[in-house]
Amino acid sequence: MSPPASPGPTLAALPVGALARIKSVDPSQRAGQRLMTMGLLPGIEIKLVQVAPFGDPLAIEFDGRRLSLRRREAAGVLLEPI
């Protein structure tokens, strides 16, 4: 439930078009709480759809919903390979 001590791959580092599964979302950031309320929960499959022209923000898709979030916020989302 709480983030592990050694951070693994995060959403901020996912390449465009790649799929991954969410391991945990750091809820100590306000963005983390917001993302979880919007349905970004551990176990959900997530896809990085697009990166904006200047490298930030990112567009993701999960469970039929598309969201845009900044890299800084995406760094709080830990992933595991599917």
Partner 1 sequence: MPDVIPSIRQKTSRVALVGNPNTGKTALFNSLTGLRQRVGNYPGVTVARKSGLLKLPQATVEIVDLPGTYSLAAASLDERIVVDFLSGHLPGVERPDAVICVADATQLKKNLFLVSQVAETGLPMVLVLNRWDAACRQGLEINTHLLSERLGIPVVAAIATQKGGVRNLLPAIEAMLHEPQRMRPITWPDCVDRATAILRSRLPVDLRRTLSEVELHRILFDAKSAVLSRIPWPEEERRRILEEARAEIQRAGYNPMAAEALLHYEHLSAVTEGVISQRGDLQRGPTESIDRLLMHRGWGLLIFLAIMYVVFLSVYTWASPFMDVIEWAKGRVQEAVGPALAGAPILQSLVTNGAIEGVGAFLVFLPQILILFFFIALLEDTGYMARAAFLMDRMFGWCGLNGKSFVPLLSSYACAVPGILATRTIEDPKARLVTILIAPFMSCSARLPVYVLLIGAFIEPRHGSFVASLVLFAMHFVGLAAAIPTAFLFNRVLFRTPSQPFVLELPSYHVPQMRGVLWRMSQSGLEFVKRAGTVIFAITIIVWALLYFPRPTAVEEEATRRFFAREAVAAAVSPADLEAALDREGAQPEGLAAGLEHEIDRAYLEQSFLGRFGRAVQPLFDPAGFDWRITIGVLASFPARELIVSTLGVTYSLGGDVDEADPNLRTALSHTRWPAGSARAGQPVYTLPVVVGIMVFFALCSQCGATLAVIARESHTGWAVFSFFYMTVLAWLGAVLCYQAGSLLA
Q: Which two tokens stand for residue 4?
A: 């592990």
User: Under the criterion CB under 8 A, does residue 36 sit at the interface with partner 1?
Assistant: yes
Of the two residues 65 and 80, which places its CB atom closer to partner 1 in the complex? Answer: 65
> Terminal CA-to-CA distance of the chain, rounded, Å?
19
Q: Is residue 13 part of the contact set for partner 1 (CB under 8 A)?
A: no
Asked if 14 touches partner 1 (CB under 8 A), the answer is no
CA distance 67 to 34: 12
- Residues, the chain, total? 82
Q: Which residues bind partner 1 (CB under 8 A)?
A: 1-2, 25, 27-39, 41-42, 49-57, 59, 63-70, 73
